[in-house]
Structure 1
Amino acid sequence: MQKQRTALILGATGGIGGAITRALVAKHWHIIALARDIQKASARGPVGVNWVHGDVMNCADVVKAAEGANIIVHAVNPSGYRNWDKLVLPMIDNTIAAAREANGARIVLPGTIYNYDPKLTPILNIDTPQNANSRKGRIRIALEHRLKHASEHTPVLILRAGDFFGPDVGSSWFAQAMIMPNRPVKKITNVAKGSGHSWAYLPDLAETFARLLDIHENLQPFEMLQFEGLYDHSGHELTDAIQRVVGVKLPIKQFPWWLMKTLSPFGGFPREAAELAPSWEYPVKLDNYRLVQLLGQEPRTPLDIAIKRTLESMKCVS
Structure 2
Amino acid sequence: MGGTRTALVLGATGGIGGAVARRLQAEGWTVRALHRDPAAVRREGDGLAWMRGDARDEAAVTQAARGVGLIVHAVNPPGYRDWDRLVLPMLGASLAAARAAEARILLPGNVYNFGPDAGPNPDEDAPQNPLTRKGAIRVVMERRLEEAAQAGVRSLIVRAGDFFGPGATGNTWFSLFARRGRPVRRLWYPGPRGIGHQWAYLPDLAETMVRVAEREAELPAFARFHCGGHWDADGTRIAAAIARAVGRPDLPVRRVPWGLARLAEPMVPFLREAREMLYLWREPLHLDNRRLVALLGAEPHTPLDAAVAATLADLGCLPAGAPAASSLAGVS
The alignment's TM-score, normalised by the length of structure 2, stands at 0.90
**Cα 1:139–1:267 shift into 2, 3 Å:** farther
**Cα 1:260–1:147 shift into 2, 3 Å:** farther
Deviation at 1:253, TM superposition (A): 1.3
State the one-letter code of the partner of 2:180: P
Pairing of 1:147-296 with structure 2 (within 5 A): 147-152=145-150, 153-194=152-193, 195-248=195-248, 249-260=250-261, 268-296=269-297
CA contact (8 A) 1:33 1:51 kept: yes
Deviation at 1:183, TM superposition (A): 2.2
State the one-letter code of the partner of 2:233: H
Instruction: Look up the match of 2:134.
Output: 136
Instruction: Look up the match of 1:315.
Output: 316
Q: Which whole-Å deviations, capped at 9, do the CAs of 1:16-46 have from their partners, x for residues lacking one?
A: 00000000000010001101111112139x8
**Cα 1:58–1:203 shift into 2, 3 Å:** same
Q: Matches of 1:146 and 1:126 in 2, distance apart?
A: 16
**Cα 1:4–1:273 shift into 2, 3 Å:** closer
- Runs of at least 5 residues in structure 2 that lack an aligned partner in the other structure: 321-332
112-121 vs 206-215, greater mean Cα deviation = 112-121
Deviation at 1:234, TM superposition (A): 1.2
**Cα 1:132–1:260 shift into 2, 3 Å:** farther
Secondary structure of 1:125 counterpart: coil
**Cα 1:120–1:258 shift into 2, 3 Å:** farther
CA contact (8 A) 2:103 2:154 kept: yes
Deviation at 1:174, TM superposition (A): 4.4
Number of residue-to-residue matches in the alignment: 314
Secondary structure of 1:276 counterpart: coil
CA contact (8 A) 2:79 2:171 kept: no
Deviation at 1:105, TM superposition (A): 0.4
**Cα 1:4–1:120 shift into 2, 3 Å:** closer
State the one-letter code of the partner of 2:275: A
Deviation at 1:260, TM superposition (A): 4.5
The alignment's TM-score, normalised by the length of structure 1, stands at 0.93
**Cα 1:110–1:83 shift into 2, 3 Å:** same
State the one-letter code of the partner of 1:190: Y
Deviation at 1:97, TM superposition (A): 0.4
Deviation at 1:172, TM superposition (A): 4.1
Q: Matches of 1:161 and 1:146 in 2, distance apart?
A: 20
CA contact (8 A) 2:106 2:157 kept: yes
State the one-letter code of the partner of 2:286: K
Secondary structure of 1:43 counterpart: coil
Q: Which whole-Å deviations, capped at 9, do the CAs of 1:157-211 have from their partners, x for residues lacking one?
A: 0000010111111234344211132022221112233411110000000000111
Q: Matches of 1:105 and 1:293 in 2, distance apart?
A: 25
CA contact (8 A) 1:4 1:30 kept: no
State the one-letter code of the partner of 1:298: E
Pairing of 1:77-92 with structure 2 (within 5 A): 77-92=76-91
Q: Root-mean-square deviation (CA), in Å?
A: 2.0
The percent of aligned pairs where both chains have the same amino acid is: 46
